[in-house]
A = this chain, B = another copy of it.
Amino acid sequence: MRAEHRLIFLLTVAYRRLQRAIDQETATHDLTSAQAGVLFFLGRNDGALIGDVSQALDIVPSAMSGLADRMERAGLVKRRRDGEDGRSQRLHLTVAGQELGKRAATRTRVINNRLMDGFSEAEIDVVSRWLTSLQEKFPKDV
């Protein structure tokens, strides 16, 4: 029972290792992992509201705003006001964004498979359940 704060630390390190790996992999491709997440979501939900994207990716709206800024500046995405509701903004993929997203998806799939290497289906299931349980244990807000 050596390390005290074990799971917290393990999760933190695992997260950082993964992010580092993804970002190094994609550094050559001018795409960060956060931005890739947006591309993937918009690939299935083009024109989604900024708020919906932020919700889907589980980041705070203010964080989404900056992320959209950088992606728009990079030409991956375009903001468009909603016709119905003047407050809302919709995010649309550009052609560049679509293509970059498609290529990133392939690489991401490889990494995702690598994450399962050495573990049985049942074990991965436990891991999935555990990761998901954190969302219930630490709900979004209150």
Contacts and interface: CB of A to CB of B under 8 A. Distances in A.
A13 B132 CA distance: 9
* Identical chains bound together, number: 2
A118 B132 CA distance: 12
B5 A109 contact: yes
A112 interface: yes
Interface residues of A, number: 49
Nearest to A135: B17
Interface secondary structure of A, over-half rule: helix
Which 8 pairs across A and B sit closest by C-beta, in order of nearness? A15-B15, A10-B131, A21-B138, A14-B134, A17-B138, A14-B131, A7-B115, A13-B58
A126 interface: yes
10 contacts: A4-B40, A4-B112, A6-B128, A10-B128, A11-B115, A13-B58, A16-B58, A17-B58, A119-B129, A123-B130
Interface in A72-116: 105, 108-109, 111-112, 114-116
Contact of A7 (B37, B59, B116): B116
B109 A137 contact: no
